Structure 1
């Protein structure tokens, strides 16, 4: 009786064991295939992410070189691009901005010192101003100084952008072979009248 019960249990387990083996054989190739496919996708993505360096050999001026020159010495990139007349403008902007940085900083330091003196009981520097007015002046001149410092950085950045753009445009054809003309144009607008206008013509010789 025990032997019959044991065989009956084995017969119940056999379908589950077979099903487990089939699932294992089915899932292993799928998982290996998905892993292989994922690796191939990673290789494709990594290949696509590799970007070629820009080729500036066809341009008379190298934008990278012009930008580096202007980064080392502002205006040098403009001289390299044969736009030396821009260099004095850049330095004039630097000099004017540095002047206003010093001016605003001096005013800031003056009112800051007066505010500290006011807190110590000395009101001789600006007798007509109370503490709130001194605080407003301190904040005002500090903001002006900080703004002019940011403007100095903007002038430097503009110097780099200008050198880079000029170098990119060095290959742009602006010779006499290209002409532009603006001529009057009279045409029929409707059956009852005519229209007047201007015609813009580009001529390539």
Structure 2
């Protein structure tokens, strides 16, 4: 508070004398322009090629996580689709009745249940794949936005007078310690 009053008085005296002084009130350093990333560009790159947004944001360590998720989703998508196709062919064979069933322990209803089960799992894996793909784009967008934040080790500690209300409708006067991260 006292510092603000001193700055205002100094500015007033300088203006009276015809001088203009610029007082820098922001002590935090400005981020370098090359470190600030464009969020739109990061999302566009990530949507074109999964992981390209992370490379643009210089977060290459996230690539194995993203590609591991994509590879896992593709593997299970292919597995569920293969099983769905097997039971679909078995259903056609059972309905025609020309050949013996490839699944002798299952009747037609059991095969239909399996066809529906594996189709449902395959379709769910399409959604999981889409969610992982979208998560990569959202991660690139958020990282690009956060690139302009100051993450320096400059911490400040201030002691300020404090007035705290008490229960008995009076107030207590003390000193507050404020830490800025």
Structure 1 length normalisation: TM-score?
Answer: 0.59
Match of 1:166 in 2: 143
Q: 2:78 aligns with which of 88, 94, 102?
A: 102
- Residue 142 of structure 1 pairs with residue 119 of structure 2: yes
Pairwise mapping of residues 1-205 of structure 1 onto structure 2 (< 5 A)?
A: 60-121=36-97, 122-178=99-155, 202-204=179-181
Q: Work out the CA distance in 2 between the residues paired with 1:176 and 1:76.
A: 29
Q: CA deviation at 1:95?
A: 0.7
Q: CA deviation at 1:146?
A: 0.7
CA-to-partner distance for each residue in 1:101-128, whole Å, 9 max, x for gaps? 1100010011111111011113331111
CA contact (8 A) 1:81 1:163 kept: yes
Higher relative CO (Cα under 8 Å, sequence separation at least 6) belongs to 2
Q: Work out the CA distance in 1 between the residues paired with 2:156 and 2:70.
A: 38
Against the structure 1 CA distance between its residues 81 and 58, is the aligned structure 2 distance closer, same or farther, given a 3 Å change threshold? closer
Query: Which structure: larger Rg?
Result: 1
CA contact (8 A) 1:59 1:168 kept: no
Q: CA deviation at 1:72?
A: 1.5
Q: Tell me the SS of whatever aligns to 1:85.
A: helix
Structure 2 length normalisation: TM-score?
Answer: 0.66
Q: CA deviation at 1:66?
A: 0.8
RMSD value over aligned CA atoms?
2.7
Gaps of 5+ in 2: 1-32, 158-165, 168-176
Gaps of 5+ in 1: 1-56, 181-188, 191-199
Equivalenced residues, count? 135
- Deviant stretches of 4+, over 6 Å: none
Higher helix share: 1
